[in-house]
Amino acid sequence: MKKSTIFLLLGLSISFWGKLKAQESDTLQQLEIQAFSLPNTQDSSMLSLDSLRGSKAIALIFCSTHCSFCNNYIDRLNSMAAEFAKQNVHFIAINSDDPGLSEENTFGGMAAARPFNFPYLHDSTQIIARLLEVTINPEALILVPKDSVFRLVYRGKIDNIPLNIPGVEDHRKPFLANALKDVLKAKSPLVPKTALGGCHIQFIDKEEPSKQE
């Protein structure tokens, strides 16, 4: 088992302390998070995972409205968030794109856009994306509170068809929704990881972290 401990503190904008643990036999890298906070573009407040420790699960959606794939998912994500909120599951969107990419990726631009009906956080330093090895928009992660940490149990696609076109519903595989339903039944997701497709996150230094598949 390989372990590493990471502590990061950046003034008022972001704080993170995490511990990574991986096992060669695992199909999904085990990640345990003790705390992280990011600013919410919707009201300028700080949102911490600690405030959601009573949740059944937290769905983290790395997404930027600069990416057409993400834009196709906005309505579906808003519907999913509303439905799963009834079962104490919280959705959080995180924008980790280079803030200089376009005006919409600045804090003010994201606040004006308000694409999501749930918190839309700004990872302006991209530390959270790098720590979690997220390189693609959109990517979904499910965190489950466990004792004093949050355990990663799913990472991958929201579903297999990002397009909003007639006649595709019968072919859609709702990976994220199915994984959340498994978690609510106190089960490990039947499919804990899926291959990704979408837009590469635009990193400030143009060097993307390695991505394990």
CATH number at residue 125: 3.40.30.10
Task: Give me the pLDDT at residue 212, please.
Answer: 42
Please report, to the nearest 10 degrees, the dihedral formed by the alpha carbons of residues 29, 32, 37, 38 taken in order.
Answer: 10
Q: 63 lies in which domain range?
A: 2-200
Nearest-angstrom CA–CA distance, 145 and 138: 23
In a domain, 132, yes or no: yes
Q: 119-136 pLDDT, tens per residue? A: 999 999 999 999 889 999
Residue 109 inside a domain? The answer is yes
**Is the residue at 77 inside a domain?**
yes
Say if 59 falls within a structural domain: yes
Among 158, 154, 76, residue whose Cα is nearest residue 115: 76
Encode pLDDT of 26-66 as tens digits: 445 566 776 789 999 888 789 998 899 999 999 999 998 88
Looking at the predicted structure, is the pLDDT value of residue 67 above 70?
A: yes
Establish if 210 belongs to a structural domain: no
Work out whether strand 120-122 and strand 89-95 pair parallel, antiparallel, or are unpaired: parallel
* Total of domains in the chain: 1
212 domain-assigned = no
32 against 91, higher pLDDT: 91
Of 85, 27, 98, the residue nearest 59 (C-alpha):
85
